[in-house]
Chains A and B, each alone.
Chain A
Amino acid sequence: MKLFRILTTFLVTIATLFSLALPAEAFCGFYVAKADTDLYNQASQVAIARDGDRTILTMANDYQGDVQDFALVVPVPVILTEDRVRVGDPKIMQRLDAFSAPRLVEYFDENPCNPRPEYLQRGGTRGAPAPQAALEESEDSTLGVTVEASFSVGEYDILILSATESSGLETWLINNGYKIPPGAKELLQPYIRQDMKFFVAKVNLAEYKQAGYEFLRPLMMAYESPKFMLPIRLGMTNAKQDQDLIVYLLSPQGQTELTNYRTVQVPSNVEIPEFVKNEFGDFYKSMFQTVYEREGKKVAFLEYAWNMQTCDPCAAEPLSPEELEQAGVFWLQPGQRPNVFISRLHVRYTRDKFPEDLRFQTTANKQNFQGRYVIRHPYKGEMNCPAAEPYQQALQQRQEQEVQTLANLTRWDIQTIRDKANLSQVQTTPWWRNIWN
C-alpha cells in the first residue's frame, strides 16, 4: 500500500492566474490609438517556434480598448509578404498557457496507524509516485517611408513599412491617422538603423463585424532571420509600470534562454499550507513579485521547460501534432513523435532594469523544469495507535515549516498565515491509556 495515496492532483491554470494576478501592460511593439483614447497594452503572450533561422512568431494580445482604435506597430527583421502572415487560433495560446502553467499538486496523508511507519521520513512526498491526473508600395520620398507590402489577413489590415528616418516614419504614421506615444520617435531610430521593418496592423472593422469575433485573434508571421530577439523597448513607451510578458519558446533541440539577461528558475517543489489551495492565484502573484524583487528586478524567470511529448503532472493534456502546427511548429514529420521542447519565460520588465531588447538562444539543455507547489493534507480520521503521537509531532513540525516557507516566499504576514493555516494541535495520549484503554 502506498504511503501517500494520491487522491487528487489538481491544477490552477495560469490563464486564470494571470487574469486575476498580473497588472500586465506589455507588448513587443506599441499600440497606437487612432482616437484620443488612453491605451495601455495588456498582458502579452508571444509564442516563438524556431529551428535554425526559420521562425514562426505568434503574438497574442488581449487588447482591452475599442477595436476601431486598435493599431499595432512592431519592428520585424525582414519584409513580410502576405503569405507569411496569418491569423492564429486564440485557443492555441490558451493551450500553450495551460500546458506550461505553474501547478499546484495535493497529497493526502494516510492513517499513521496503518502498518507502514515511513511517514516519518522527511521528503516522503517527493519519493511518492508522481501524480497521474491533473485538473489542470507606394513610396513617400520626402519622408523616407516605403510601404513594402500592404494586405489584409482575417480581420487585420497590415502594412509593412521600411523607413530611413525616424522623424519621417513618425510623420507618416501621424499623417495616416495613427497616434504615436510620446518618446516613440527616438526609439524608432535604432530599429530603422538596424534595417528592421515595421509591421503595422489595424482592424478592418467591416471584416471584424461580419465575422462576429468577440476579441482580436493572434497574429502569426513566418520569417528567416539570424536575429533571435524580441523588441521590448517600443512597448515601454506607453507603460507606466512594470509589464509582464510570457514567451513560449518552441524548439526541436532544448531549452531556450536569454543571452543578455539572466534566466532564473522560479522557486519550485516547495510544500505550502493547505489553505493556499483556495488562493493559489494570490499565492503565485505574491511569490512571483517577491522573487522578482529579490533578484533585483532584472532577470527573466523560467516557469516551465519540458519536452512536449509528456508532462508529469500534466497541467493540461500535451498538445496534439495538429495543435503544435497551429502554434507554429513547422518541423514535425508525419508519423514521427513530435520533438518539441517548450520553454516558458516570464519577463516582468521596467525601462530602467531592462534597457536592451530581449536576445535569445536555443541550447541543447534538455533538463526538465516546472513551477510545482505541493500541498499535503494531514490525516484527519481517528488514530488509535502508538504511531499516532509521533505522526502528530512530525505533522506539527511540517506545518510550521510550511508556514515559514510560505511567509518567506510571499512576504505575507506570518501570524495571518498561522491563523489561516489552522495548525493541528498535538493530541497527547495520557500515559495511563497504555494499560487502561
Chain B
Amino acid sequence: MLLQDARISQIIFLSLFLFLGLSTRDWTLRPDLILVAIASCLLTQWLLSCFVPFVKSKIRSYQIPKLGVKEVKSRVQLFELTCLRSAAITALGLCLLLRCNDYTTMAIAGSLAIASKFLFRHKNKHFFNPANFGIIAALILTQDAWVSPGQWGTDWWYLLLFFCTGGTILKQVGRWDTSIAFLVAYTLLEGLRNYWLGWSWDVLQHELMSGSLLLFAFFMLTDPRSIPNATISRIIWAVAIAFLTFILRNQFYLSTAVFWALFFLSPLTIWLDTIWSAPKFEWLKTINKRLPNQSFTTS
C-alpha cells in the first residue's frame, strides 16, 4: 500500500497547505521559486543517493575482477525513486517556510538541505532536519532569505487543520510524544512569562495559536529520521528546543527563534541516542520486514 508510507500522506498534506497558503494567505511566494526548490532538492537527492553510489559501485565492480575476485552483481540502482519522497517533503517544507528574491538562494537552501543528510551523519543516521538546515543555511549564507512567521495568522480553522493532518502523520510514524512535549513545555514557559508580566490571557492565546508555530511543531520537529530514537530522548530533546526557543524569542527577540533552536539542538540527537538506544526509524519498516536479507541497524 502506497499510503503505508507516511511520506506520501505528508507530501499530500504539505501540498494542500501550499495550495491553501497561495490561494488564501496571499503570500509573496512565486511559482518559479517553488519549482527551483523542488528541482534542487530532488536533483541533489538523486545525485547523492543514486548517482554517486552507482558510480562507486561501478568502479568497485570494475576493480574486483582485477583483484581476481569473482564479480558480484551491483545492487545499486541508478533510478531508485522511493528516496525522492523525503526530498519532496523537504522541498515542500522550504516552499512553505522560506522566502527569498533570487533563484540562487532557493537553490542553495534546497541543495544544502539535502546535502546535510549525507554530510552530517553519525552511525548512518543524519541528525539535522533537512528543511531546517536549508533555512538556516540560506539565512546565514545569503542576504536574501527570510521567514514570515506571521503569515499563517491565528485562525482556529488552521489550528484544527494542522492538528488533524499532523496527528494523522504522527500516528503513522509514532512521534506524537515529540510534538506534545514541545507544545506543552513551550505553553508552560510562555504561560509563566505571561502570568509574571501580567498580560491578559488572550495575549498568550494569540501567541500560541500562531499557525507557523503549529506547522513547525507538527511537521518539522517530528521528522522521525533525524530526531532521537527513544521516547525519553525525544521528550528531553523537544523540551530543550522549547526552552531555547523561549529564550531566543523573548531575550534575543529573534522572530525565527524556533528554527535556530532546532538547528542548535539537533546534534544533541547523537548524544541522546548513545544514552537511550532504540531501533532507528525506517520509513518502510513494515514493508521491508517482509523482504529477505534486510536488517535494521540499531544505534
Residues of A at the B interface (CB closer than 8 Å) are 166, 186, 189-190, 193-194, 226-228, 253, 257-265, 296, 298-299, 352, 355-356, 359, 361, 363-367
Tell me the complex Cα distance, A186–B200, Å: 9
Is B198 positioned at the interface, with any CB of A under 8 Å from its CB? yes
B197 touching A189, Cβ below 8 Å: yes
Question: Chain B, 134-177, contact with A by CB distance < 8 Å: what is the 0/1 string?
Answer: 00000000011110111111110000000000000000000000
Q: How far is the CA of A190 from the CA of B152 in the complex (A)?
A: 26
Q: How far is the CA of A51 from the CA of B151 in the complex (A)?
A: 23
Residue ID in chain B nearest A261 by CB atoms = B150
Chain B neighbourhood of A228, CB < 8 A: 253
Quick one: which of B99, B148, B198, B253 contacts A227, CB cutoff 8 A?
A: B253
Taking a contact as CB atoms under 8 Å apart, the answer to whether B148 and A363 are in contact is yes
Contact indicator A257/B148 (Cβ below 8 Å): yes
CA distance A189 to B255 in the complex (A): 24
Closest to A365 in B: B28
A260 to B257, CA, bound (A): 13
Inter-chain contact B198/A189, CB cutoff 8 Å: yes
Q: Are B253 and A299 in contact, CB atoms less than 8 angstroms apart?
A: no
CB-CB < 8 A to B143: which residues of A? Answer: 253, 364
CA distance A260 to B198 in the complex (A): 19
A-B contact sample (15 more), CB < 8 A, given A193-B198, A355-B202? A189-B197, A190-B198, A194-B197, A259-B150, A260-B207, A260-B210, A261-B154, A262-B25, A262-B150, A263-B148, A352-B202, A364-B101, A364-B144, A365-B99, A367-B28
Inter-chain CA distance A228–B254, complex, in Å, is: 10
> Does B271 count as interface, using CB distance less than 8 angstroms?
no
A248 to B25: give the CA distance in the assembly, Å: 23
- Tell whether A264 pairs with B253 under 8 Å between CB atoms, given A193-B196, A364-B144, A364-B145: no
Q: Chain B contacts of A226 at CB under 8 A?
A: 252-253
Q: List 11 A-B contacts (CB under 8 A).
A: A166-B198, A190-B197, A193-B197, A258-B150, A261-B153, A263-B150, A298-B153, A361-B149, A364-B144, A365-B28, A367-B101
Expressed in whole angstroms, the Cα–Cα distance for A329 and B195 within the complex equals 38
Q: Tell me the dominant secondary structure on chain B's binding face.
A: loop
Contact among A186, A361, A365, A367 with B198 in the assembled complex (CB-CB below 8 Å):
A186
Q: Which residue of B lies closest to A367 (CB)?
A: B28
Which of the residues B198, B206, B253, B255 comes within 8 Å of A355, measured between beta carbons? Answer: B206
- Residue ID in chain A nearest B254 by CB atoms: A226
**Are the C-beta atoms of A361 and B255 separated by less than 8 Å?**
yes
- The yes or no answer to B238 lying at the interface (CB within 8 A) is no
What's the minimum C-beta distance from B238 to chain A, rounded to whole angstroms? 23
Q: Is B95 an interface residue (CB 8 A)?
A: no
Q: Which of A189, A262, A298, A355 contacts B203 (CB 8 A)?
A: A355
Q: Shortest Cβ distance from A168 into chain B, in angstroms?
A: 14
A363 in contact with B146 given A228-B253, A299-B153, A355-B203 (CB within 8 Å): yes
Does B199 belong to the interface (CB within 8 Å)?
Answer: yes
B100 near A355: Cβ-Cβ < 8 Å:
no
B197 touches A262 (CB 8 A): no
In the complex, the answer to whether A262 meets B153 with C-beta atoms within 8 Å is yes
Is B26 in contact with chain A by the CB < 8 A criterion?
Answer: yes
A226-B252, A359-B255 given; A260·B26 CB < 8 A:
no
Closest chain B residue to A189 by CB distance? Answer: B198
Contact between chains at B26 and A298 (CB < 8 Å): no
The residue in chain A whose Cβ has the minimal distance to the Cβ of B148 is A257
Partner of A259 from the list B154, B155, B255 (CB cut-off 8 Å) is B255
Please measure, in the bound complex, the distance between the C-alpha atom of A296 and the C-alpha atom of B26, giving whole angstroms: 15
B150 touches A260 (CB 8 A): yes
| Cα(A257)–Cα(B150), bound, Å | 8
Are A263 and B151 touching (Cβ within 8 A)?
yes
State the Cβ distance, A350 to closest chain B Cβ, in Å: 12
> How far, in angstroms, from A258 to B255 measured CA to CA in the complex?
10
CB neighbours of A364 from chain B (8 A): 100-101, 143-146
Closest CB in chain B relative to A368 CB, distance in Å? 11
Given A190-B197, A190-B199, CB of A356 within 8 Å of CB of B207: yes
Give CA–CA (A299, B154) in the complex, Å: 10
- Whether B206 contacts A356 by the Cβ 8 Å rule is yes
| Nearest-CB residue, chain A, relative to B154 | A298
Residues on the A chain within 8 Å of B203, using CB: 355-356
The 6 closest A-B CB pairs, nearest first, are A363-B146, A189-B198, A190-B197, A355-B202, A259-B255, A226-B253
B99/A262 in contact, CB under 8 A: no
Residue in B closest to A262 when the chains form the complex, CB atoms: B153
Of all chain A residues, the one with the shortest Cβ separation from B194 is: A190
A365, B155: Cα distance in complex, Å: 25
The residues of A that contact B100 with a CB separation of less than 8 Å are: 364
A361 contact set on B, CB distance < 8 A: 146, 149, 255
**Interface hub of A190, A259, A298, A299 (most chain B Cβ within 10 A):** A259
Chain B residues lying within 8 Å of A367, measured Cβ to Cβ, are: 28, 101
A264, A363, A366: residue with the most chain B Cβ atoms closer than 10 Å = A363
B146 surroundings in chain A (CB, below 8 A): 361, 363-365
Residues in A whose Cβ lies below 8 Å from that of B252? 226
Q: How far in angstroms is the closest Cβ of chain A from B20?
A: 14
A363 — which chain B residues lie within 8 A by C-beta?
99, 146, 148
Complex Cα spacing A194 to B26, Å = 34
CA distance A359 to B254 in the complex (A): 11
How close is B94's CB to chain A, nearest CB, in angstroms?
Answer: 16
- Once bound together, how far apart are the Cα atoms of A367 and B145, in whole Å? 13
CA distance A298 to B155 in the complex (A): 10
Q: How far apart sit A257 and B152, CA to CA, in the bound complex (Å)?
A: 13
Complex CA gap A263/B153 in Å reads: 9
Give the distance to chain B from A234, nearest Cβ to Cβ, in Å. Answer: 13
Min CB distance A164 to B, Å, is: 13
A260 touches B206 (CB 8 A): yes
Q: Which of B206-263 contact A (CB under 8 A)?
A: 206-207, 210, 252-253, 255
Give, as a whole number of angstroms, the nearest-CB distance from A436 to chain B.
56
Contacts of A366 in B (CB 8 A): 101
Contacts of B253 in A (CB 8 A): 226-228
